[in-house]
Amino acid sequence: MEALLTSAALVALAEMGDKTQLLAMLLATRFRKPVPIIFGIFAATLANHFLAALIGHSIAGVLTQPWFRYAVAASFILMAGWTLIPDKIDEDAPLAAPSKAGVFVTTLIAFFLVEMGDKTQVATVALGARFDNLFAVTAGTTLGMMAANVPAVLFGEALAKKVPIRALQVGAALLFLGLGLWMIAGLQGWLG
């Protein structure tokens, strides 16, 4: 349960103002079909975050030395700093009309590709390395992404004007920092 809740909270907060959330808003305003967009985001996130958590989990299983755990803790601390850097997306860039495959496939492909190397994907790798339950991490990070992006799709423009994105980014940064410091403190107790 800890893996699920921690993963959901960290990713939901880290996603605020992220480029994939901006993409969700852009898709919603361009296509005005929220249901296929939401399902496309869900499918892309589930696939992307399962692979990211699997990589993190696989690495953690191979590298159990204290230095690797320090590296994972350091990655959370670095994520805290990265979370404070706002993402931007070029809203004036042309977005092609959906192909014959439709809005769902357009969203699926765009969201999957934009999420590659994104801070929430990197966080998912670190969470996969931190927690033993791969499925709880994947479910939690996917839940966090949906919690951040479904309102963006449904109420995007109105939310952007009312939600203090900077406060959410600072909150996410503090959570990442706290998790990294907590891991380091746990390692100190483990080593000493």
Residue 21: what pLDDT?
81
State pLDDT tens for residues 69-120.
Answer: 677 677 767 767 766 766 555 545 545 555 566 889 989 988 888 888 777 8
- The DSSP-derived string for the chain is -HHHHHHHHHHHHHHTT-HHHHHHHHHHHHH--HHHHHHHHHHHHHHHHHHHHHHHHHHHHH--SHHHHHHHHHHHHHHHHHHTS-----TTS--PPP-TT-HHHHHHHHHHHHHTT-HHHHHHHHHHHH-S-HHHHHHHHHHHHHHHHHHHHHHHHHHHHHS-HHHHHHHHHHHHHHHHHHHHHHHHHHH-
State pLDDT tens for residues 6-57.
Answer: 899 888 887 877 778 878 887 887 788 899 999 999 999 999 999 999 998 8
pTM reported for the whole predicted model: 0.68
